[in-house]
Chains A and B, each alone.
Chain A
């Protein structure tokens, strides 16, 4: 417990930073309630028309369903790949581990726009001989998202494995457990929190991915962020404000539940 507390000057500056961080999130609330068809502050009366537009316009629902589907497929794929890889690293500690892990983390550190043009190259190449898997297809987007999320999933797995006591695995091994039994019955039950977190993070990253998605979709695979982007670039559509408010509320609720769960686990 730190004994050296921040003084009043630090607190005032930090309060300004906190305000700066929250300001744009609060600003979307009044905009979402405007009766106007364009982006404006409501003057006088409030309206829920932009929330209604979210339900009535089928494009929003379609893109949400598409984003969920892509998120589930890409998250499952990258979680399984990251789990196998991390188990391999932890159980066998092969030579060149650092170089291999570094390679896996590349999509996380390379500027996203470079990953985007790389995946654009990949998917347009695939499009040459497959029409349902390649540029502007949902499977292509799911694969591209897996490339982008797998480093994050791997980092989370490696971190939770690093907190695991090696001796339980050695004991299992000494008692004659096979590699499969050690992985599925000893190690995985002990890192299940890490596995779930990795899957959730992969889903969230895919759900809000836009940098790469812009490069690899045009008219068919319109994910939710892609649809928001189109609404933001041309004529700013206040329905985006309504959607943003909903997304912010979900985020705050999930974070509150998560911090509650962490606290409960800590209390045990």
Chain B
């Protein structure tokens, strides 16, 4: 009995500091933000009403969903291609693929967004070269629009899509593939009818992670969108700091959390958390 009590005491003492810290520094202030959404500028549901009627807010929500959907499809497809090589290539191919995945992964989001500005802007690498070879006379508008945002976000999110895909591909039994080949299936048919369906949990996990990340993305759209294709996160920032409308910013945040929470709940009905690492 004494040992049991001291066990419980020990666990409580060890776990309490972090739990207390997060309750005070995260859970409590989040409730404060929820309170803002109901009380600023006037108490009531006015801000949520505005969410449903305000044309600007509506168009930003729709744009965010559209960009997130495109980015999800493109990043998961691209990640799939490079993950196949990372997991199943020759040792040299695997090393190169790993380098190409991990180096961007560890480089800060600002540096990566800046790299795209250097490539895509009017006086950037691509426009300078295309003009030098006489292919175009006026620079192409590659940045400060939705295209730039999609390119930058896809670049940021590919490594995040790689990890669940790699985990699914590693757990796949080679003998199944050999059996399909032995039974006369072509390489391409084996890939589409055996390999891809057997990595389905990785594809779902990767798509969910990318989609959820895209919804709350701030830095890349703010830099590559140049204030023209504003997404939800930037709208929250603008509402807090430029047109002080804290209530609306808070209300959008609450809706975003609920939406992401619902998506996560959906995800965990289909995929176990362990399959995502």
Which residues does A use to contact B, with CB under 8 Å? 2-7, 10-11, 13-14, 16-18, 20-25, 27-28, 30-31, 38-41, 81-82, 84-85, 87-89, 91-92, 94, 100, 103-104, 106-107, 109-122, 125, 143-144, 146-147, 150, 154, 179, 204, 207-208, 210-211, 214-215, 225, 228-229, 232-233, 236, 240-241, 244, 247-248, 251-252, 254-255, 259
Contact = CB atoms under 8 A, between A and B. Distances in A.
A18 B107 contact: no
A117 B236 CA distance: 8
A229 B222 CA distance: 10
A85 B17 contact: yes
Given A113-B218, A251-B103, 5 more contacts: A3-B174, A6-B89, A14-B82, A91-B11, A229-B219
Interface residues of B, number: 90
Contact of B103 (A20, A31, A255): A255
A22 B103 contact: yes
Nearest to B128: A41
Given A24-B119, A85-B19, A208 B125 contact: no
A215 B218 CA distance: 11
A121 B32 contact: yes
A194 to B, nearest CB: 15
A147 B26 contact: yes
Interface string B5-29: 0111011111101110110011111
30 contacts: A4-B174, A5-B90, A6-B84, A6-B88, A6-B89, A14-B97, A18-B100, A21-B104, A21-B155, A22-B100, A24-B116, A41-B123, A41-B124, A85-B18, A92-B14, A94-B15, A100-B15, A109-B260, A111-B215, A117-B33, A120-B240, A121-B30, A121-B32, A122-B28, A122-B29, A146-B21, A229-B219, A236-B117, A240-B114, A251-B103
Main secondary structure, interface of A, reads: helix
Residue from B36, B96, B110 whose CB has the most chain A CB atoms within 10 Å: B110
A154 to B, nearest CB: 8
A27 B115 contact: yes
Given A11-B93, A14-B97, A23 B82 contact: no
B29 A232 contact: no
Nearest to B91: A1
Interface stretch (B42-50, B199-207, B248-256): B248-256
A255 B102 contact: yes
A27 B178 CA distance: 42
Contacts of A215: 237, 240-241
Contacts of A20: 78, 155, 158
Contacts of A228: 110-111, 114
A100 to B, nearest CB: 7
A267 to B, nearest CB: 15
B7 A92 contact: yes
A193 B256 CA distance: 37
Contact of A40 (B96, B97, B123): B123
A40 B104 CA distance: 23
B63 interface: no
B36 A121 contact: yes
Given A110-B260, A241-B114, A104 B124 contact: no
B264 A94 contact: no
Contacts of A107: 22, 26
Contacts of B87: 2
Contacts of B166: none
A28 B112 CA distance: 9
A229 B104 CA distance: 19
B97 A18 contact: yes
B253 A27 contact: no
B118 A88 contact: no
Contacts of A146: 21, 25
B110 A210 contact: yes
B169 to A, nearest CB: 9
Nearest to A85: B18
A244 B30 contact: no
Contacts of B21: 81, 146-147, 150
B24 to A, nearest CB: 8
Contact of B19 (A103, A109, A113): A103
